[in-house]
Amino acid sequence: CVLFFFSRLIFGTLYPAYYSYKAVKSKDIKEYVKWMMYWIIFALFTTAETFTDIFLCWFPFYYELKIAFVAWLLSPYTKGSSLLYRKFVHPTLSSKEKEIDDCLIQAKDRSYDALVHFGKRGLNVAATAAVMAASKGQGALSERLRSFSMQDLSTIRGDSSSAVPASVTVRAGSKQSQPKASRSASEGSGSSGKC
């Protein structure tokens, strides 16, 4: 199984990809057509093996046969991909081309409609969730901020050099600053200025 994976990766994908690149670079139409036929057959093979792997993997020499098949497709002597393409794939696709195109157009339209429909629903759900989170979170955030004194907030920010004077402390229930007399009393009793 592992041997097949690496063989298929190297000989079934990387080798043909490199020669496809060379065909495109050299603009040799004959080579280009040859490698396009290979890729079409290889795509069909990959699709078919997805299902055959489920049912035939127990078959003796199954993976070895798949390696031999890929080698037969690639071989310049057997021209397996050209043979399969010309004998089976091209005639079948030519006769069914109109139906395939219609199915693809319908599938594209349906997928676009489904994408728009689910996209709208997703945006509605996300917007509702964001509004709910913001409304719930705003109350919790404001309560949390009220529990800090201005001096605590400046040290959290890291501005120890620009500390706010201790006279500007915010109470939990109001937005007024503490009077100096009560501030001195609370400092003397060891309170940190938190309410």
| 170: three-class secondary structure by DSSP | strand
Say yes or no to pLDDT of 163 above 80: no
pTM tops 0.75:
no
152 band by pLDDT with thresholds 50, 70 and 90: low
The answer to whether 162 and 154 have CB atoms below 8 angstroms apart is yes
Residue with more model confidence, 172 or 53: 53
- Rounded Cα gap, residues 48 and 63, in angstroms: 14
Q: Taking residues 154-175, what's their average pLDDT? A: 49
What local confidence, expressed as pLDDT, does residue 176 receive?
Answer: 47
The answer to whether 17 and 62 have CB atoms below 8 angstroms apart is no
For the packed helices 15-26 and 29-56, what is the interaxial angle rounded to 10 degrees? 160
> What confidence tens digit (pLDDT) does each residue in 105-127 have?
888 878 777 777 777 777 777 77
Q: Taking residues 130-134, what's their average pLDDT? A: 70
Say yes or no to pLDDT of 170 above 50: no
| 177: three-class secondary structure by DSSP | strand
Q: Which range among 28-37, 64-73, 130-139 shows the weakest confidence by mean pLDDT?
A: 130-139
What local confidence, expressed as pLDDT, does residue 149 receive?
Answer: 56
What local confidence, expressed as pLDDT, does residue 88 receive?
Answer: 92
The answer to whether 16 and 74 have CB atoms below 8 angstroms apart is yes
> What confidence tens digit (pLDDT) does each residue in 6-58 have?
777 787 788 888 888 888 888 888 888 888 898 999 999 988 888 888 887 77
What local confidence, expressed as pLDDT, does residue 86 receive?
Answer: 92
Q: Taking residues 155-168, what's their average pLDDT? A: 50
Say yes or no to pLDDT of 185 above 60: no
Q: Which range among 51-60, 96-105, 182-191 shows the weakest confidence by mean pLDDT?
A: 182-191
- Rounded Cα gap, residues 164 and 170, in angstroms: 12
